[in-house]
């Protein structure tokens, strides 16, 4: 379920400054490159202190119940994290005792179809994008995830120019076949 109808996003983007649009696109590409390079401390620095990072569970529903295909804010999710819990995950990955990442996964994040709309709070934007995440681990384990990310970005005075305030990962699969989700979207 999207937060806005696609046509409304299109009309909001028409008035968006092209420099802001390009800066946000470059931020998302930079973030993907950091994740693929396993530069998790640098990626962590891009997160707002008040971040909410969530991937609701998707279920297959009939057309009439389509609006209920993703779990709600008070329901279970694959993950629903804060900056503190993300920090704990990253620290654990660097201990060498995280069996799910020993040896480390090789990932490739593809981010496309980026649509940007300004939010009511000055300097905040919603960036909706399609993603494809390829993961290979231990020579034979291969996972492929596709879906949509709905990000809230806040403009800040930093080299990256923005911080990630919220990420909602809407996965296309209703059944995850991966052994684990030890990486970041």
Q: Look over the chain and give the mean of its residue pLDDT values, rounded to a whole number.
A: 87
Name 7's Cβ contacts closer than 8 Å, sequence gap at least 6: none
| Element counts in the chain: helices (H) and strands (E) | 4, 6
What gap in Å lies between CA 184 and CA 75, rounded to an integer?
21
The ranges assigned to domains in the chain are 6-163
Question: 126 pairs with which residues across the strands?
Answer: 117, 152
What gap in Å lies between CA 107 and CA 71, rounded to an integer?
26
Tokens 């076949």 belong to residue: 177
Q: List pLDDT tens digits, range 42-83.
A: 999 999 999 999 999 877 666 666 666 666 677 777 789 999
User: 6-163 architecture in CATH?
Assistant: Roll (3.10)
Sign of CA dihedral 70, 180, 137, 32: positive
Q: What is the pTM of this model?
A: 0.84
Question: Is the confidence at residue 16, as pLDDT, over 60?
Answer: yes
Q: Quick check: 163 and 156 in contact, CB under 8 A?
A: yes
Residue 1 has what pLDDT?
46
Residue 139 has what pLDDT?
80
Lowest-pLDDT range of 17-21, 30-34, 120-124, 178-182: 178-182
Token pair for 155:
């403009």
Q: List pLDDT tens digits, range 152-176.
A: 999 999 999 999 999 999 999 878 8
């Amino acid at each position: 379920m999207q937060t806005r109808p696609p046509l409304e996003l299109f009309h909001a983007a028409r008035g968006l400054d092209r420099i802001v649009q390009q800066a946000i696109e470059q931020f998302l590409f930079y973030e993907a490159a950091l994740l693929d390079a396993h530069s998790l401390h640098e990626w962590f620095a891009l997160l707002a202190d008040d971040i909410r990072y969530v991937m609701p569970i998707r279920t297959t529903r009939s057309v009439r119940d389509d609006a209920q295909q993703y779990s709600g804010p008070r329901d279970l999710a694959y993950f629903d994290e804060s900056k503190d819990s993300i920090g704990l995950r990253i620290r654990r990955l660097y201990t060498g005792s995280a069996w799910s990442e020993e040896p480390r996964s090789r990932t490739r994040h593809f981010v496309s179809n980026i649509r940007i709309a300004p939010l009511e709070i000055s300097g905040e934007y919603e960036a909706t994008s399609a993603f494809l995440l390829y993961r290979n681990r231990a020579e034979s384990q291969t996972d492929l995830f596709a879906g949509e990310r709905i990000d809230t970005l806040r403009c800040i005075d930093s080299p990256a120019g923005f911080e990630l305030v919220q990420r909602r990962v809407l996965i296309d699969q209703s059944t995850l076949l991966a052994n684990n989700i030890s990486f970041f979207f």
